[in-house]
């Protein structure tokens, strides 16, 4: 059965369309990234990309991230930083997936990092390997985080803007859109 935007029913993270362009990863594509066997080098690229998917960090902010950015609020770990691009404060809770990656590498300081351009080059190879025709770049991670926050977690645009380090919701609306699963969840609310 087709949904409002041509999405299949029961597929909460089907393709995210923005002006006809695929901009974020589906649940199946995220699963493929996590379960595909990669060479050690590509695994580090995938892990860095996934960490950005789980935290919404821009590549420039991810590159600067360190253990001093990790805080604790009532038992919930979170990342607190100021965006390099606009000096806006941002606070992002560390979910179980992001924490698993921190644990894998031992600390935030030891998360894998390479240059943005090199990462984007590797992401082209990775996209081909998981069978997606999406143009996979570092920005897709941030958009995937936005989509998951809005549509799976049901977060407000204001909260997502704060996590992304934006002063307004304008950019959030570029990075994500409310999909039918969120509409129906709120309707039933």
Mean pLDDT for all residues in the chain: 88
> What are the angstrom distances between the C-alpha of 26 and each of 81, 88, 138?
28, 29, 15
Average pLDDT over residues 8-35: 67
| Angle, alpha carbons 85-108-141 (nearest 5°) | 50
Report helix angle 96-105 to 40-55, nearest 10.
140
Q: How far apart are CA 81 and CA 78, in angstroms?
A: 10
Phi, then psi, of 3 in degrees rounded to 5: -100, -165
Q: Which residues pair with 76 in a beta bridge?
A: 73
Instruction: Supply angle C-alpha 66, 69, 73, rounded to 5.
Output: 145
Domains in the chain: boundaries: 17-182
pLDDT of residue 124: 97
Q: At residue 26, does pLDDT exceed 50?
A: yes
Q: Are 166 and 172 in contact (CB under 8 A)?
A: yes
Sign of the C-alpha dihedral computed for residues 32, 34, 38 and 41 taken in this order: positive
Superfamily of domain 17-182 in the CATH hierarchy:
Intergrase catalytic core (1.10.443.10)
- For residues 184 and 126, the model is more confident at 126
Give one DSSP letter per residue of 106-118, joined into a string: SSGGGS----HHH
Q: Residue 19 has what pLDDT? A: 52
Q: What is the mean pLDDT of residues 97-118?
A: 97
């Amino acid at each position: 059965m087709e949904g409002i935007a041509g999405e299949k029913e029961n597929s909460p993270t089907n393709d995210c369309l923005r002006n006809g362009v695929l901009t974020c990863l589906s649940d199946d594509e995220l699963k493929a990234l996590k379960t595909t066997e990669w060479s050690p080098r590509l695994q580090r690229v995938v892990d860095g990309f996934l960490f950005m998917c789980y935290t919404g960090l821009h590549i420039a902010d991810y590159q600067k991230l360190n253990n001093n950015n990790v805080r604790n609020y009532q038992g919930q770990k979170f990342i607190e930083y100021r965006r390099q691009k606009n000096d806006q404060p941002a606070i992002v809770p560390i979910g179980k997936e992001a924490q698993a990656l921190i644990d894998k590498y031992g600390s935030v300081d030891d998360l894998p990092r390479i240059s943005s351009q090199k990462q984007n080059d590797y992401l082209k190879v990775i996209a081909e390997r998981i069978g997606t025709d999406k143009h996979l770049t570092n920005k897709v991670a941030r958009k995937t985080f936005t989509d998951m926050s809005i549509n799976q977690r049901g977060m407000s645009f204001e909260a997502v803007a704060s996590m992304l380090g934006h002063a307004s919701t304008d950019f959030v609306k570029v990075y994500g859109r409310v999909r039918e699963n969120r509409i129906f969840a709120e309707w039933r609310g």
